């Protein structure tokens, strides 16, 4: 890299090519599996338009993605390269999640949304909590959770994806981009 090829960064690259045998290949695969297990888990509840778009957009990011829905026909038809789970009791997935996971709630059912949020808040270890909805839904959620003994919902991002950009675009791809930006921003603030 240099001025001869219109690059100004300087430096040099040394390439080494090795023939891999079976044992070395197996070692690399095991190391890769360990590295994957260290990734932050992101549980997306709801395999509708937004949840599916979100899972697809997050595929290339360094997260362990799991898309969960209680409607088997929604999960079974998806051809996404991520973990998909049909669960009649999706709140069990919250209980079984890794510590410091991220939770994104985009289901078709407000009651289920509230139940999932309650289970997540009971854990008290989420890196991110986001829920699709309106300011009115936020108020209803806050009142419902108060009756359940949870008074602080300051870390629940509802309407989801609105903390950075206030947009009214309803396209799933745009909503997903805002959700990802918001989640990354919040995680980054917690790390630094």
The per-residue pLDDT for range 153-166, each reduced to its tens digit, is 999 999 888 766 67
Determine contact, residues 110/141, Cβ cutoff 8 Å.
no
Residue burial 60-86, b: 16+ Cβ < 10 Å; e: rest: eeebbbbbbbbeeebbeeeeeebebbe
What is the rounded CA–CA span in Å between residue 113 and residue 107?
A: 6
Q: Is the pLDDT of residue 119 over 60?
A: yes
Determine contact, residues 172/49, Cβ cutoff 8 Å.
yes
Would you state the CATH architecture of domain 62-192?
3-Layer(aba) Sandwich (3.40)
pLDDT number for residue 88: 96
Q: Provide the mean pLDDT of the chain.
A: 87
Task: Of 61-65, 140-144, 159-163, give the lowest mean pLDDT range.
Answer: 159-163
Mean pLDDT, residues 31-49 taken together? 80
Q: Is the pLDDT of residue 32 over 60?
A: no
Task: Of 12-21, 35-44, 109-118, 133-142, give the lowest mean pLDDT range.
Answer: 12-21
Helix (H, G, I), strand (E, B) or coil at 134: coil
Residue 43 β-bridge partners: 66, 103
Closest CA to 51 of 116, 100, 95, 144: 116
Residue 105 parent element (H or E): strand 102-105
Q: Percentage of residues in the chain with pLDDT exceeding 70? A: 79
Domain residue ranges of the chain, discontinuous segments joined by +: 62-192
SS (H, E, C) 27-91: HHHHHHHHHHHCCEEEEEECCCHHHHHHHHHHCCCCEEEEEEECCHHHHHCCCCCCEEEECCCCH
Mean pLDDT, residues 127-156 taken together? 95
pLDDT band at 80 (very low <50, low <70, confident <90, very high): confident
pLDDT number for residue 162: 75
């Amino acid at each position: 890299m240099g001025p001869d090829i219109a690059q100004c960064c300087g430096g040099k690259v040394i390439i080494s090519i090795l023939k891999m045998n079976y044992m070395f290949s197996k070692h690399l695969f095991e190391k890769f599996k360990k590295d994957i297990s260290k990734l932050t888990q992101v549980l997306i509840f709801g395999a509708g338009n937004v949840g599916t778009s979100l899972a697809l957009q997050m595929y290339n990011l360094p997260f362990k993605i799991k898309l969960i829905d209680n409607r088997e026909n929604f999960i079974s038809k998806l051809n996404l390269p991520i973990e998909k789970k049909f669960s009649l009791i999706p709140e069990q997935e919250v209980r079984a999640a890794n510590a410091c996971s991220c939770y994104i709630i985009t289901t078709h059912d407000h009651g289920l949304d509230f139940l999932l949020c309650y289970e997540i808040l009971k854990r008290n270890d989420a890196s991110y909590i986001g829920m699709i909805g309106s300011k009115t839904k936020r108020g209803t959620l806050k009142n419902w959770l108060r009756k359940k003994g949870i008074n602080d919902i300051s870390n629940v991002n509802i309407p989801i994806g609105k903390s950075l950009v206030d947009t009214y675009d309803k396209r799933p791809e745009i909503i997903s981009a805002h959700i990802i930006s918001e989640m990354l921003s919040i995680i980054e603030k917690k790390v630094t």
